[in-house]
Amino acid sequence: MTELEDFSKRIHDRLTSVQRMLDLSIIDLPQNKMKKLGQELFAIEGILEESEKYVSRQRDQLQHLKKLEQSSQTYLDDLRHLLDNIPEHFEIEPVKIHANIENAQPRQPEKVKKVCKGYIKEMEIITIPEYESIPQYMKGRVSYDQLNAAVLCINTSVCSKYKILHQPAKTLNNHSRKLYQRFKEQETKDTKGHFFIVEADVREFTETKFDKRFQGILNMLRHCQRLKELRGGGQSSSTRPAIWCFDSTVYTELGLTGSGAEKIQEQTTGQLEVCITKEKQSKV
């Protein structure tokens, strides 16, 4: 706009000068005045040609900007569509690493401190094809996100429990020590060699209600082969636990040392299965 205003001012000044000379044309003007009038007219003509070129450039630039605006709007609509339809959970594909074994140099053993890292098995997120394979009578009104929210709830309970069990009891506070003792009392011959939790653990570490709806979700996870149910003897005649074992292969790493590390090291050498034990209370 500044350049257009400058052009307008220059043209206006030239026209004012020409108009003044035309007003004086009724009088016989000297030759030098006539010559100056011709110069002013020539300058005005040059300014007009320059302004036409400038307007033409601005017109081309305006068309280019309109095309950019349309293209940007298209990209913006696509991004909004992706944002509105992006799933909460993505399938993680393992990365294949190709190593040249023939030229590989034997790795020299390093002197490091004896530190063991434990792993807690977690349940994999349910994929959309797996969710769609669940029968409608079993699925009911449970959505895909609600099903995976239950998976995260189970993983949270398992990790929280075994983070306590993998620590030396003397390093725990009073509340954690009570939980540690309770976890030990829950162990039976049927839970030996498994990672498991009971309903009380789910209520302890999450706000999930272990009701019929949650029981239906467990059945859905069993249908998707994330869980398997094992029946066994309970701690008393009034309790008969149903053990739900993980079939997934996702592990959470724990940095542990000491007796807790040695214990988890023994467990990780064999087959790891995380179990959920549902205690059924007898009717009073």
| Interval 68-83: pLDDT, tens | 999 999 999 999 998 8
Place of tokens 């001012």: 9
Q: Are 121 and 166 in contact (CB under 8 A)?
A: no
pLDDT on residue 74: 93
Average pLDDT over residues 57-64: 90
In degrees rounded to 5, what are phi and psi of residue 201? -70, -40
pLDDT on residue 92: 60
Average pLDDT over residues 29-56: 79
Distance, CA of 259 to CA of 241 (rounded, Å): 29
Query: What is the tens place of the pLDDT at every residue in 99-136?
Result: 555 555 555 555 544 434 466 778 888 888 999 999 99
Rounded to the nearest integer, the mean pLDDT of the chain is 72
Q: Is the pLDDT of residue 168 over 90?
A: no
Q: Is the pLDDT of residue 34 over 80?
A: no
Range with the lowest mean pLDDT among 27-31, 68-72, 235-239, 269-273? Answer: 269-273
Tokens of 181: 């003792």
Query: What is the tens place of the pLDDT at every residue in 266-283?
Result: 333 333 344 444 443 333
96 or 124: which leads in pLDDT: 124
Q: Are 168 and 247 in contact (CB under 8 A)?
A: no
Distance, CA of 240 to CA of 188 (rounded, Å): 11
Range with the lowest mean pLDDT among 37-46, 95-104, 143-152, 230-239? Answer: 230-239
